[in-house]
Amino acid sequence: MLDLARSVRSELERNGFRVLMTRSDDSSPSYDDRAAVANAQHDAVFISLHVASTGAPNTVRAYYEQFAAPFPPAAAPPAPTSLPAWDEAQRPYVDASHRLADLTQTQLATSFSASPVTSTGVPIRGLRSVAAPAIAIEVSSVSVPDPNSLATSASPLAGAIVHALQAFRTPAVAN
């Protein structure tokens, strides 16, 4: 998995993106530690890569955080000057994260033909504390007969992410 993330990092850097990885070895930082790294950056986008042991091989899915319930009417979103609750940090970014996930999933479906064309919103602990647009990308399936097949997905995965980020960063043109 780390080799896959390094390949994605290299492609992003070749395309002018600054990349910080939340791990560079076999350690396993906590979700909060990963969120803290992302939250310390200005104008960041957080992408979490995972390899699943389930799902149809050679499919890739993009997910965004979907909270179980919206802010209750009596508890409006926090004022910009107040600190949000750590487990609510993603809430103001859900729309941007959804847009990024949709753009990413469109690109993934082009590169991985059996992949769905729309992203999925689910509660994801690893995204909830990130105060920036944040998505999780899941590559299926690690349980394939040829271990090299995961490595061959690195280039199309990286290309899809680059194209999605470029589209995400391009401001919409008004008609």
| 84 within 8 A of 91, measured Cβ to Cβ | yes
Question: How far is the C-alpha of 150 from the C-alpha of 129, rounded, in Å?
Answer: 29
Query: What tokens does 69 get?
Result: 């319930």
| Domains present along the chain, CATH in parentheses | 2-69+84-169 (3.40.630.40)
The pLDDT value given to residue 30? 93
Q: For residue 45, give the nearest of 23, 18, 69 by alpha carbon.
A: 18
Q: Please report, for residues 1, 41, 151, the alpha-carbon distance to residue 154 in angstroms, rounded to integers and kept in the order given.
A: 10, 26, 5
Torsion sign (Cα): 29, 22, 2, 111: positive
pLDDT, mean of residues 95-112: 97
Sheet of 120-122, strand order: 46-52, 134-140, 59-65, 120-122
| Residue 175: band (very low, low, confident or very high) from pLDDT cuts 50, 70, 90 | very low
Neighbouring C-alpha atoms within 13 Å toward the C-beta of 87: 5
| Residue 2: band (very low, low, confident or very high) from pLDDT cuts 50, 70, 90 | confident
| Residue 174: band (very low, low, confident or very high) from pLDDT cuts 50, 70, 90 | very low
Q: For residue 63, give the nearest of 115, 113, 24 by alpha carbon.
A: 115
Classify burial at 27, counting beta carbons within 10 Å of its beta carbon; exposed 0-12, middle 13-18, buried 19 or more.
Answer: exposed
Q: What tens digit of pLDDT does each residue of 42-101 get?
A: 999 999 999 887 778 789 999 999 997 665 555 555 555 556 688 899 999 999 999 999
The four Cα atoms 6, 24, 103, 116 give a dihedral, to 10 degrees, of: 80
pLDDT, mean of residues 164-170: 94
Helix (H, G, I), strand (E, B) or coil at 61: strand
